[in-house]
Every structure is written in C-alpha cells, then in structure tokens.
Amino acid sequence: MSDYFTFPERSSEGYAVTGSERIYEGKIFSLVGETISFPDGSSARRDMVKHGGAVAIAALDDRQQLVMLEQYRPAVGRFLWELPAGLRDVEGEPPVQAARRELVEEAGLEAGSWQTLVDVVSAPGFSNEQARIYLATDLRESSDTSFVREAEEADMVVRRIPLEECVHGVMTGRIVNSLAIAGVLAVSQHVRDPATPLRPADAPWPT
C-alpha cells in the first residue's frame, strides 16, 4: 500500500480572510460573505454557509444489513434513502455521543461497538460543513422511547437492507444522499478487506 497520503498537506499560507459580512443567522446554519485574498495578491468575495457539523451512523448488523432511513427532504422535494444522522447541536457533546443519541432517536437502536469510518466535507465549494460517519456494530434494540418524531421525521421509515443491495442502490442512483453514499461504500470496502484500518470512535475531530 502506498504511503502517498502520509505526505504533509499543502500549506494554506498566503490565503486569508480580509473581510466578513454576516448575511443571515439561522438555527442550523449562517450565511456570510467573506473577502478572500490569494497568494498572487488578488482577492475575491465568496458567500459561504457556516455549519456546526454533523454525524452519521453506518449501523451494520450481524447479517450484513445496514440500517437505512427513508425520509422526506423538503429542500429536494422527495424521499431520500439515508443513514441515521443528525446535527452536532448540543454544546460540549462529544461527536460519538451525538452519534449514539441519533441512533437511538432515529432508529431505536444502541450499538456495543463504535469506530470512526470516514470524515466528509460535504460541499466545500460553499460550506464549511464537516460530517463524521461512524461504523456501529453489535446492535440491539434501545429501551429509550422518549424521543418523539415530528414534522418530516414523523413518517420516516426505518429498514435493514443487505449491504450489497445498498451498494447497488448507490451505483444505480437510487441512493443519492452524500453521507449515505460515503458510508455505504466505506462499509463495503471494510467488509471486503477487514484489515482496512479504522480509527477509534474518539479520534480527533477534523480541523
């Protein structure tokens, strides 16, 4: 295996934010206009969505089935197949704890084993959103039934789908959610090659 990605990342020296205007402040994200200076001395304005981050869970059972959700998404006006996921919106909550909470709330499940699967920068052209996808195994039903689903989550469907069917869904365009695609393909790679290294659940959050 090549050690190509062990090389240091390129320095961002010469790139700087020289001006910032807050355009909108919302519950989930804010919109800012920033003036960016570049190493050649030029500058440009970029409108960006600032987001607190998210977690998603690739919950794999002992029959090689992934827990998938079918949820209506108003932004695209249709139902999408997704992994259990949610915002990092509880102050001071460790990311893996946010993932544990979301798995209980959205799928009614707990997991005995947690590992960091992959990290995703979902839309770097206009947003700083970062998401971590965890691999959760040793699944069991949760006794916590206190969470009440509302709005578009009220009729959300939870299904366990064979991993190979999920991969097929990605490749045929049936699964288009970016975190679901990343999680499905990463789990598939891990199952094919269990020696593929995974980071611990408490691995440092990406900078």
161 vs 188: CA distance, rounded Å: 13
Helix (H) or strand (E) holding 185: helix 178-192
Instruction: Quick: pLDDT tens for 61-81.
Output: 999 999 999 999 999 999 999
Please, what are the domains in the chain? 4-50 (no CATH), 52-200 (3.90.79.10)
pTM check: above 0.85: yes
Q: Looking at residue 206, what is its pLDDT?
A: 81
Please report the pLDDT score of residue 1 as a whole number. Answer: 61
The residue whose two tokens read 């290294």 is: 197
User: How far is Cα 62 from Cα 138, in angstroms, rounded to an integer?
Assistant: 7
Question: Which residues are tagged catalytic?
Answer: 153
Q: CA-to-CA distance for 18 and 15, rounded, in angstroms?
A: 9
| % pLDDT > 90, the chain | 79
pLDDT of residue 151: 72
pLDDT band at 2 (very low <50, low <70, confident <90, very high): low
Q: Which of 17-31, 60-74, 158-172 has the lowest average pLDDT?
A: 17-31
Alpha carbons within 13 A on the beta-carbon side of 51? 18
Encoded amino acid at 88, one letter = R
